[in-house]
Copies of this chain bind each other. A is one copy, B any other.
Amino acid sequence: MTGQTLAELGEHALIYLIQGSLGESDYVLIGSGDDAAHVATADGTYLVSTDLLIEGQHFRKDWSSAEDIGRKAVAVNLSDINAMGGVATALTVGLAAPGDTPVAWIRELLAGMIAECAKVGAKIVGGDLSSAETIILSITAMGDAERPVSRAGASAGDVVAVVGELGMAGAGFGALSRGFRSPKAAVDRHRVPEPPYAEGPQAAEAGATALIDVSDGLLADLGHIARASNVAIDLASEAFEIPEAVQTVASALGGVDPLQVVLSGGDDYALVGTFPVGAVPAGGRTIGAVTAGEGVTVDGQPFEGVQGHTHWG
């Protein structure tokens, strides 16, 4: 095994390898493996989550404006705090860029970051700058939650509900990948997600038993809840609305099932959770049920052909 590479090992196995070595501490109330960690201080607690965004991997300057990239970089981090039922208050930003980057581009990037932070009242409290051959953004968001909701609390008998649209960002990515700039609603959503920031704390207050944001794709992310909670989840296909833009892109791509885009498209940053029957908050669409067992099914069957995105193939 000495010569094994990351590409051969794969991202999931690498995550398990890392998580298995981290150890425990009285300070770590919820550790690695959830949307955010929950950490104790001498006098209280906070949530923290981090994301790395690399030009070419996570965004393209020819697809998105600097402002859009800044908004998205912050949004994906605020979404992680939201998906714990919390509200982000502070962010740190690591930024690396080539020396020939226009200052105007960086100003726009920063303006996008600050505008997205303003949606929840968060502030950038520190950072680090470096030169690099491409743009690299590393953001860490911290926040508060009255009752942090992990991925691990779902139990048989709960219902599954989602807030926000699904499949739009995936459809936008599909369109951009093939050189299109429309449908605009889908392309815009890929460029800048709009996480439902009010609904994370609302879901926690309503009694959510597990929460996650849809970054890898709904089935993949519900798989994370099912695994962490030791339950099975079954979705009802008729509960899903297929947005028009998703239908348009699926037709244009030829033979793609629009439901697959909805169920497996990433980067929407909708909020999905499990709730006791009757506790789904207003605005939540019920899409399935939690049962004993394992895995995620649609109408009682495995959904074919769906893979979450992973790094190193």
Interface residues of chain A, those whose CB is within 8 Å of chain B, are 1-9, 11, 14-15, 17-18, 21-25, 27-28, 31-34, 36-37, 39-46, 48-52, 54, 57-58, 89-90, 92-104, 106-107, 110-111, 114, 121-134, 136, 138, 140, 142, 144, 146, 311-313
Contacts and interface: CB of A to CB of B under 8 A. Distances in A.
Contacts of A129: 11, 14-15, 52, 311
A6 to B, nearest CB: 5
Nearest to A49: B126
A39 B90 contact: yes
A69 to B, nearest CB: 15
Given A99-B6, A132-B54, A125 B14 contact: no
Contacts of A131: 6, 57, 311-312
A55 to B, nearest CB: 10
Given A41-B144, A90-B27, A126-B32, A138 B50 contact: yes
Q: Oligomeric state, in number of copies? A: 2
A15 B102 CA distance: 15
A193 to B, nearest CB: 16
A54 B144 contact: no
- List the 6 closest A-B pairs by CB distance, nearest first: A44-B44, A43-B44, A7-B99, A138-B138, A37-B125, A52-B94
Contacts of A93: 50
A133 B31 CA distance: 29
A126 B124 CA distance: 20
Given A94-B50, A94-B138, A140-B140, A130 B311 contact: yes
A123 B39 CA distance: 10
A127 B45 CA distance: 19
A260 B138 CA distance: 34
A6 B92 CA distance: 20
B48 A142 contact: yes
